[in-house]
Amino acid sequence: MLEFRKDYFADERRDDLDVIGKGVQRQDMLGHVTGTTTFFDDHKMAGMGHLKVLRSPHHHARIRHIDVSQAERSPGVRRVIRGADVPRNLNTLLGLIGFGKDDEPSLATTKVRYRGEPIVAVVADSERLAHEALARVRVDYDPLPAVFDVEEALKPGAPTVNDVYPGNAFEYHDRFDHQRVRFGDVEAGFRSADHVLEQRYQMSPIEQAPTETNGSIAAPETNGRFVVYTPTQGLFFSLDTCAKILDVESNALHFVGGTAGGGFGGKVDSLTEPLAILGAMLTGRPVRYVLGREEEMQFGGPRSGERIVIKDGLMRDGRIVARKVTVWFDSGAYTRLTSYGAVKCAAHVPGPYTIPAVHGDFYCVFTNRTPATAMRGFGVTGVDFALECQMDKLAALAGMDPMEFRILNAYRDGDMKAHRREAKNTALVECVQVAAEKARWPIREEFRRASSRTGGGGERARIPPTPKDTSPPKRTAGGSTYTPSVAPPPASSWDRPAASPPATPFQERFAMPPPPPAPMPRPASSQPPAPPPPEPADRREPPPPAAPGPGTTRFSSVFGTRRR
């Protein structure tokens, strides 16, 4: 089943350590097989209240009126919670690192923006009594037109999903509705290419589906603090999110977790913790809020649907000379973490290959569906599907074996990547070689001899002249944007751009006879990009909030300081 190829990279490794590299038993295994591993829901407390939420039946609707009077009189109800009860009923997860604007309420008050959005919470003596009370809540809605397709959402006249981002796109760097990658001259590359192939791909949304659903139990502790049992994937991330929403100091909360029944990215969003704690605050009792499986599947944030368009310029000899990638991430109704995933995707393009011209546009788009979030391979899994299907098509176009085609184009130590950092510690070539060997897939001798450690660098380490993108920076129609407040760190050894290029032509890296040289893209200008022209004053957006002064920041156990 599994073998170790110790013959590869043996000179970079010590294999004589005591316990590192040994398959010793897991610390948690005995607990797992005896059932003594303690998960959050295994904490049982006397007098526990059970919280359940009423969810929107509409994809998009204005809320005209909410009547909870019948629900409040329902048997076993300890408390009905509405949006007005939430101290800070607007949050965005990455606001803790100053990325993005608060755009998501804990409980909707004036509008619902996806089917399943929470509106009212009930704490009752049992889950059943909570459900019975929720059935007595009356909500009047004015249904609104909804949009579900990412490209439709960006068209003029599309319904506005998220009022904080009226153009239906997350705003990057205060001025773009997308994140850009510009490296070399793709248009020149397409002109010089023997083949140009443009293809569309669609990654489906996917549910993380951990066997343990999201949930938490919050209870009053001593000194006015609250203890929270949680399966969150980020203990302090969740703690600080809750402290912000509930407007309490972070040391008012005591989070206990660290053992989760699977996560896969589905337990990053603090789906239940804020309301469980608020329920405990408002009732003085332990409160348990656990998602049912249908809630988890339909209303816990999934991996986003991603639409991907790839356009490649290919030479007859199999070299890719230009790659243009556009990705629309379907964020659903709110940002959650998709804005981050899109930048991670931007960093990943063009995949593990050295291509002298790369152009990428990455959009985080709002639609009227359950907000998407992280999942295993976040920002990468979808685009890898597209890139590797595209690679298979390109290999066919060039008449090459798919394995040999990968090795020909693989990045190697010393190559410049599209995000302008040098590749190091690479091993794609070797993986392809070993996979071919295992599958008894014949590849030619020169490809079996190739190495990630040789053939890179030189001309391939060059940052190609990049024409300035003259397309106007499209702004979303929204207001101000926060930008990261953290100062750029000094470049460290691994992220320093490579020095100027030694002169090894791009195509001389292979053991095989070099194919006829492709013209290197000639840029219109090799000057560094100038700052974008200022907008006319009458079109300028309101200025961003003033820098926080004394008293407006406070200590955050996650990130040091944060805005209030």
260 near another protein, rule: CB under 8 A: yes
Closest distance between another protein and the C-beta of residue 345, in Å?
A: 9
320 near another protein, rule: CB under 8 A: no
Among the listed residues 62, 73, 155, 376, the single contact to another protein using CB under 8 A: 376
* Binding piece for another protein, criterion CB under 8 A, among 40-48, 61-69, 78-86, 519-527: 40-48
Token pair belonging to 296: 């988890």
Produce one character per residue of 22-45: b if its CB has 16 or more CB atoms within 10 Å, e if not: eeeeeeeeeeeeeeeeeebbeeee
330 near another protein, rule: CB under 8 A: yes
Produce one character per residue of 263-277: b if its CB has 16 or more CB atoms within 10 Å, e if not: bbbbbbbbbbbbbbb
Among the listed residues 263, 274, 350, 521, the single contact to another protein using CB under 8 A: 263
Residue type at 266 in one-letter notation: G
Positions in 468-497 near another protein (CB under 8 A): 468-469, 484, 486, 488-492, 494-495, 497
197 near another protein, rule: CB under 8 A: no
Positions in 134-163 near another protein (CB under 8 A): 148-150
3-state secondary structure of 105: coil
* Binding piece for another protein, criterion CB under 8 A, among 316-324, 404-412, 502-510, 518-526: 404-412
Positions in 503-532 near another protein (CB under 8 A): 529, 532
Among the listed residues 82, 144, 199, 317, the single contact to another protein using CB under 8 A: 199
* Binding piece for another protein, criterion CB under 8 A, among 65-73, 103-111, 344-352, 506-514: 344-352
Angle at 525 between CA 522 and CA 529, to 5 degrees: 130
The residue among 264, 142, 279 whose CA lies nearest residue 218 is: 279
**Sign of torsion, CA 125 279 35 298?**
positive
110 near another protein, rule: CB under 8 A: no
431 near another protein, rule: CB under 8 A: yes
Q: How many CB atoms lie within 10 A of CB 528?
A: 7
Rounded distance between C-alpha atoms, residue 514 and residue 528, angstroms: 32
Q: What is the DSSP letter of 32?
A: H
The full 3-state SS of 273-300, as one line of letters, equals HHHHHHHHHHHCCCEEEECCHHHHHHHC
Residue 395 phi/psi, 5-degree rounding, is -60, -40
Positions in 158-187 near another protein (CB under 8 A): 172-173, 175-176, 179-183
424 near another protein, rule: CB under 8 A: yes
Closest distance between another protein and the C-beta of residue 84, in Å?
A: 29
* Nearer CB in complex with another protein: 89/179: 179
442 near another protein, rule: CB under 8 A: yes
The residues pairing with 172 across neighbouring beta strands, listed in sequence order, are: 176
* Nearer CB in complex with another protein: 123/428: 428
Closest distance between another protein and the C-beta of residue 59, in Å?
A: 7
Closest distance between another protein and the C-beta of residue 67, in Å?
A: 28
3-state secondary structure of 323: strand
